[in-house]
Amino acid sequence: MHLDAPGRLFCVATPIGNLGDITLRALETLRSVHTIACEDTRTTGRLLALLEIPRPRLVSYHDHNESRRVGQIVALLEQGNDVALVSDAGTPTISDPGYRVVSRCAEEGIEVIPIPGPCAAIAALCASGLPTDRFLFLGFPAKKGAKLQRFMAQALEPQRTAVVYLPMRRLQGFLEDVMGRAPETQVVVSRELTKAHEQLVRGTVGDVLTGIAEIPQKGECTLLLYNPES
């Protein structure tokens, strides 16, 4: 039975490592919604247990089922149910699934409410020491071909900080490419942000390449690039 008013979609940021980064609004929202749409129900289930939040209905929402889940989530909202959208860590839709359901809600006139909080890109940027007045978030680069070439051209546009998400196994090759194109580029490698082994490595691209053996090659990093050449 449909209610007069649809539910609301909450885009809820969750911790990227340190559980203490959860916000009061996020806690309140996760406790109150009818359903949580999440990348991995196991990961979100563990987070809810750690936060001592009674587990509501969890619906998986990830890259491989996003197209068919959108209709199901919109149907729940149209029935008057509030839904929270979360990713495994950080802010949903930022290089994570969620864009399609948010876009559909906007089209249908369903209220979308951001619950801001942790975001690896912004956390790395504010602690980088690189200029923050003009920056571009690029997410994950293509692996090869014309798409990678366009990505590199954007990342190395002079006098603008670029923020890139990168698997650590690709870091050396990516920086070697940067070195060949713009050797004066300033680089910050940010990894394990907010966790016990948080690490920010700063220097020219050549400096970082020289010391790359000292950077653990596991997981992913947030890489910041600033090409000072005009």
Residue 3 pLDDT > 80: no
Q: Which of 2, 17, 66, 80 is nearest to 37 (CA)?
A: 66
Q: Where in the chain are the domains?
A: 9-115, 120-226
Residue 1 pLDDT > 70: no
Q: Name the maximum alpha-carbon separation found in the chain.
A: 64
Q: What is the pLDDT of residues 57-94, one digit of tens each?
A: 999 999 888 888 999 999 999 999 999 999 999 999 99
The whole-number pLDDT of residue 66 equals: 85
Assign domain 9-115 to its CATH superfamily. Tetrapyrrole methylase, N-terminal domain (3.40.1010.10)
Tell me the average pLDDT of the chain.
95
Q: Provide the whole-model pTM.
A: 0.92
Which residues does residue 37 pair with via DSSP β-bridges, in sequence order? 59, 85
Which whole number is the average pLDDT over 109-128? 97
The whole-number pLDDT of residue 230 equals: 66
**Residues whose CB is less than 8 angstroms from the CB of residue 58 and which lie 6 or more positions away in sequence, other chains included:** 35, 36, 38, 41, 44, 45
Q: Which of 159, 149, 140 is nearest to 221 (CA)?
A: 140
Residue 120 pLDDT > 90: yes
CATH code of the region 120-226: 3.30.950.10
Same-fold call for 9-115 versus 120-226: no
Q: In whole angstroms, give the CA distance from residue 165 to residue 93.
A: 14
Residue 2 pLDDT > 60: no
Q: What is the pLDDT of residues 167-216, one digit of tens each?
A: 999 999 999 999 999 999 999 999 999 999 999 999 999 999 999 988 99
CB 164 within 8 A of CB 139: yes
Taken in order 56, 57, 60, 66, is the CA torsion positive or negative?
Answer: negative
Q: Which of 29, 77, 75, 79 is nearest to 51 (CA)?
A: 29
The whole-number pLDDT of residue 229 equals: 84
